[in-house]
Amino acid sequence: MDTVILSDWLSARLDRAAAEPSYRQVLRLMQQAILTGQLPPGTKLPSSRTLAGDLLIARNTVLRVYDQLTAEGYVISTMGSGTYVADTRPDSVAVNARRASPASGSIDKGAPTPIRREHGDLSSRGRRLIGQAGVSPKQWGAFMPGVPDVAEFPARTWSRLQAKLWKEANPDLLTYAPGGGYRPLRRALSDYLRVARSVNCTPDQIIITTGIHQSIDLAVRLLTDVGDRAWVEEPCYWGARSVLQSSGIKLVPVPVDDEGLNPREQDLQNPPRLALVTPSHQYPLGMVMSLARRRTLLEYARQHKVWIIEDDYDSEFRYGSHPLASLQGLDEAGQVIYVGSLGKMLFPGLRIGYMIAPEHLVDTFRTGVAELYREGQLMQQAVMTDFIMDGHLTSHVRRMRALYGERRQILIDAITARFGNELPVMGDEAGLHLVLGLPDHANDREVAAAAYDAGVIVRALAAYYSGETPARRGLLLGYACVPNAQIGPAFDTLARVIEQTALGASTRTTGQRRHAT
């Protein structure tokens, strides 16, 4: 492409009515011509005056384009000689090395190797993570499990507290978070957790994180090596399972029964490096680990130096009884790492979680969280501190516990009215969801997919088991984020899907007759 053709080529493509400035258009077009070889290396560009006249644009515009092309290495300007297209072609030695056959060492002079796409680009653990991902494209609506009603959050109170802090604009709150997080927040959380969860800790033991996922990830990175074994409950929360697997940990699913984690003889004979448990409200089935099992687990961990990660994700919401004491409160050997989050109490987007490290590991965990994640969010942590200290957290949790209790009962009543005792309800004593059992022959994954197509979000219980054949079939139904008036209609929709996909024709007829009466 000579200089005359270049002017014509640019002029034909210059859109003078476009919102994009002429400078940006000419720069983009010339970059394209150089990269595609239409302007080969060594081509002398027309003078800025000539090109400006040909394109009917200001000379300063062309000078600005040439300056930018020079700065980015597309062209080379020589005093007294002119501006030439630089040779930016990939180095032939490097390209040929990439084309070499590993088997024969020969050089492929033909077309470059096609770029792999999608899962072919991933590592083996990356493929496993994406292939087993449980995250939903929707995070709100009936019956999304584990999501609080963010519409009930006292936003005005939060905004007022936040505005006060921003008005002061303390520079210390705008930098990275040293020492495991904002100390006043750690002190407030220590006081709260001692009363609400019977946790034994000092403010120094609390490490502020962005949530339970990060807390688990930090503990795993600092306390395990690739290939170490970890006990996980069977079934268990898919997110925790993904965090462990992505760190190269070998998972050992341990069954649960009505008393919680129930290790088998072969499990006990091969102590793991760590055990991840949800003793106060097993996720997803909802049982509570008995005191005898707790003491047994703690003694086993003490004898075999097993780290226990206690995931206490939503224990504030119990219906008909007070919140249960933590496993950490019984630990005398310093083997339990307690992790929790404020997201389910307030709103998930808050992204403030915490972990309680054994005293001898406090400095290690502080260094680890700062080194790996470069924590910040001190302003949010300061707002959270005032929110707790002024009593807003306690009153909000109390109010939401009552509201969620109402919604839980509305949902249970809807289930009973439609199915009677035919489908069992499990894990409804606490938390933000319950499990609706399905017949053994039912495919709960298919039911969940059909419900999604009908506009209702549920999770298949099978997704929480590590094996292909789950011990139980069922659906997780979250009720916390569903307004009272919408629970009945939404469940009617779900019930029709269940009757069509999981139950036989006779059951469907019986259900319709019961519903009509």
Q: What is the pLDDT of residues 252-273, one digit of tens each?
A: 999 999 999 999 999 999 999 9
Residue 488 domain-assigned?
yes
> Does 36 share its domain with 174?
no
- In the three-class reduction of DSSP (H, G, I as helix; E, B as strand; rest coil), residue 239 is classed as helix
The least confident of 192-196, 245-249, 470-474 is: 470-474
Secondary structure (DSSP) of 81-146? TEEEE---PPPHHHHHHHHS-TTT-----SSPPPPP-GGGGS-HHHHHHHHT----S--SSTB-TT
Q: What is the pLDDT of residue 468?
A: 66
Q: For residue 339, what are the β-bridge partners? A: 311, 355
> For residue 367, is it within any domain?
yes
Domain end point (choices 85, 115, 147)? 85
Mean pLDDT, residues 7-26? 91
Please state, rounded to an integer, the average pLDDT across all residues of the chain: 89
- Cα-based angle 176, 177, 181 (whole degrees, multiple of 5): 170
Q: Is residue 220 part of a domain?
A: yes
Q: Which of 185-194, 204-213, 397-406, 463-472 has the lowest mean pLDDT?
A: 463-472
Tell me: the pLDDT tens digits for 339-380? 999 999 999 999 999 999 999 999 999 999 999 998 888 999
- 208 shares its domain with 244: yes
Residue 219 sits in the same domain as residue 338: yes
**8 Å CB contact between 247 and 206:** no
- What is the pLDDT, as a whole number, of residue 178? 78
Pull the structure tokens for residue 266.
Answer: 């072969």
pLDDT at 184 over 90: yes
- Examine the fold and report which residue of 358, 390, 422 is the final residue of a domain before the chain moves on: 390
Weakest mean pLDDT among 132-141, 385-394, 438-447, 468-477:
132-141
User: In this structure, are 377 and 321 located in the same domain?
Assistant: yes
Q: What percent of the chain has pLDDT over 70?
A: 89
Whether residue 101 is contained in a domain is answered as no
CATH number at residue 48: 1.10.10.10
> Quick one: CA dihedral 457, 462, 466, 468, positive or negative?
negative
Q: How far apart are CA 170 and CA 121, in angstroms?
A: 45
Note down the domain range covering 213. 169-390
- What tens digit of pLDDT does each residue of 291-301 get? 999 999 999 99
505 domain residue, yes or no: yes
Is 329 found in the same domain as 186?
A: yes
User: What's the average model confidence in pLDDT over 7-30?
Assistant: 91
CATH of the domain at 502: 3.90.1150.10
pTM score, two decimals?
A: 0.81
37-82 tens-digit pLDDT: 899 999 999 999 999 999 999 999 999 999 999 999 999 988 888 9
The answer to whether 208 and 352 are in contact (CB under 8 A) is yes
Report if residue 105 sits inside a domain: no
Alpha-carbon radius of gyration of the chain: 31
Q: Range with the lowest mean pLDDT among 10-19, 334-343, 400-409?
A: 10-19
Q: Judge if 187 and 225 occupy the same domain.
A: yes
Q: How far apart are CA 287 and CA 260, in angstroms?
A: 6
Asked whether residue 135 carries a pLDDT value surpassing 50, the answer given is yes
297 lies in the same domain as 428: no
Is residue 330 located within the same domain as residue 470?
no
Same domain? 182 vs 329: yes
* Contact of 365 with 207, CB cutoff 8 Å: yes
The average pLDDT across 393-416 equals: 96
pLDDT at 123 > cutoff 90? no
* Cis status of the peptide bond prior to 263, with omega within 30 of 0: no
Both 376 and 400 in a single domain? no
Structure tokens belonging to residue 262: 């129930």
CATH number at residue 327: 3.40.640.10
Report the pLDDT value the prediction gives residue 113, as an integer from 0 to 100.
Answer: 55
Residue 139 lies in a domain: no
Same domain, 383 and 400: no
Q: What's the full length of the chain, in residues?
A: 517
Q: Report the alpha-carbon distance of residue 513 to residue 517 in Å, rounded.
A: 6
Would residue 163 count as lying in a domain?
Answer: no
* Domain identity same for 343 and 200: yes
Closest-CA residue to 45 (of 66, 26, 31, 28): 66
Tokens found for residue 72:
């980015």
Can you say whether the dihedral through the CA atoms of 62, 67, 69, 70 is positive or negative? Answer: positive
Q: How crowded is the C-beta side of 182, counted as CA atoms within 13 Å? A: 22
What pLDDT, in 10s, does the model give residues 83-116?
999 998 877 544 554 555 444 444 344 455 555 5
Domain end point (choices 85, 119, 146) = 85
User: H helices then E strands: how many in the chain?
Assistant: 18, 14
Domains identified in the chain, total number: 3
